[in-house]
Amino acid sequence: MSRDLLELKSLSVQEIQAILSQAQAFADGEKCTDFTGRIAVNMFFEPSTRTQYSFNVAEENLGLRVISFNPAGSSLQKDESFYDTVKTFDSFGVDVIVIRHSENEYYKQLLGHISAPLLNGGDGTGNHPTQSLLDLLTIKQEFGSFEGLRAAIIGDIRHSRVAHTNFEVMQRLGMEVCTSGPEEYREEGMNYKPFSEALRESDIIMLLRVQHERHASAMQLSKEEYHRLYGLSADKLELMKPKAIIMHPAPFNRGVEIAEDVVECDRSRIFKQMKNGVFVRMAVIKRALGDL
C-alpha cells in the first residue's frame, strides 16, 4: 500500500473509513504514537492557515520535528525548480513531506523520484484530501454514518478542489450531492440545483469562498449581489431542514457567501471542522509512517 496521500479517489472506502476511525480515536483522547526523532517538512507554495498550521500541530502532537519551508526565503528565488527543491528535502532524509501547490497534480512529477511519503495539502483546483477527510469526520460525528445523507456544495464550484474532492468521495460513501451557485462558477456534470431547492433538501450545506485568485477575470456579481442571491443569511436558515448543518472549509468571507451572524450560529460546524483537521492530519501522518 502506498503511504502517499495524493487523491482520495485512489483510496478504497475501507481505507477512508480506517483513517476516519483513527482520527476519531485521536479526538477521543487516544494516546498519540510517539514518532520522536522523525522529521516532517511542510512545503506550502500557496498561502494557507488551516492546512499548514494544523499539519504543524498534528506533527508536533506525534513527536515529529517540523520544518516549515518558506518559499520566499529559499533558492526558488534563484530559479531553482519546484522538483529540485522537493528533491533537496528528500535527500536530507526527512520522513514525511506535505506539499500545497497551485498546479493541478503537481505530485505526478515527483512520483518515483522521492523516498519520503508525500501528503497533498491541496493541488490547484484538483484535490484537497485532508480537507475532505476532516469534512467527512465532522459529518460522521453529526449523523453517525453517510448513507442516504444529502449534501449541497454552494459557491465557486469550478475553481474549488474541496468541491471536486467531496463530490466524488461523498457519492462513493452513499451520499447524494448537488451543487449550486452563480452560473459563471458552475461545472457540468455536478448535479446543479437552484439555491433555495438545495437549501431545503440538504442535510449538509457546504458553502465555498469565491476563489478570486484563480479567476482570469473579475466576478460578474458584486459582493452585495452575491450575498443576496447565494449567501447564507439568517433569514434563509429557516429554509433548512431542522437538523441540517452548515459547513465551510474556510477561509470564509463574512457578508459574501455567509452572513456575519451565521458563521458561529448553532447550526455551524465550521470551527469544529478546523478542530477535526488536527485529528485527521495526525491519522494520515500515522498512516504515512506505516503505523495504520
Look up residue 177 and give its three cell numbers: 450531492
The answer to whether 250 contacts ligand CP (rule: CB under 6 A) is: yes
The only residue of 2, 12, 49, 196 in contact with ligand CP, by rule CB under 6 A:
49
Segment interacting with ligand CP (CB under 6 A) among 13-21, 46-54, 168-176, 193-201: 46-54
The least distance separating ligand CP from the CB of residue 55, rounded to whole angstroms, comes to 9
Walk across the sheet containing 150-154 and list its strands.
176-180, 150-154, 204-207, 245-247
The nearer residue to ligand CP, 96 or 250, going by C-beta atoms, is: 250
* Options 42, 120, 131, 165; binder of ligand CP; rule CB under 6 A: 131
Using CA atoms, how far apart are residues 150 and 228, in angstroms rounded to an integer? 24
Q: Is residue 129 part of the contact set for ligand CP (CB under 6 A)? A: no
Select 10 or 49, whichever has its Cβ closest to ligand CP.
49
Distance CA(244)–CA(205), nearest Å, equals 7
Candidate ranges 49-57, 105-113, 223-231, 254-262; the one touching ligand CP (CB under 6 A)? 49-57
Closest CA to 230 of 126, 122, 157, 280: 157
Give me the least distance between CB of 49 and ligand CP, in Å please. Answer: 4
Residue of the chain from 33, 48, 104, 233 that contacts ligand CP (CB under 6 A) = 48
Q: Considering the complex, state which of residue 48 and residue 171 has its C-beta at the smaller distance from ligand CP.
A: 48
199, 249, 259, 269: residue in contact with ligand CP (rule CB under 6 A): 249
* Given 42, 50, 85, 157, the residue binding ligand CP (CB under 6 A): 50
Q: Which of 51, 127, 179, 202 binds ligand CP (CB under 6 A)?
A: 51
Q: In this complex, which beta carbon is closest to ligand CP, that of residue 194 or of residue 251?
A: 251
271 touching ligand CP, by CB under 6 A: no
**Rounded Cα–Cα distance for residues 52 and 272 (Å):** 17
Stretch of 2-10, 76-84, 87-95, 249-257 lying at the interface with ligand CP (CB under 6 A): 249-257
Q: Tell whether residue 251 is a contact of ligand CP (CB under 6 A).
A: yes
Q: Of the two residues 25 and 57, which places its CB atom closer to ligand CP in the complex?
A: 57
Nearest to 155 by CA among 123, 131, 179: 179
Number of residues engaging ligand CP in binding (CB under 6 A): 10
Question: What Cα–Cα distance (Å) separates residue 152 from each residue in 182, 200, 201?
Answer: 14, 10, 8
From the list 207, 197, 279, 191, the residue with the least C-alpha distance to 245 is 207
- Which positions lie near ligand CP, rule CB under 6 A? 48-52, 122, 131, 249-251
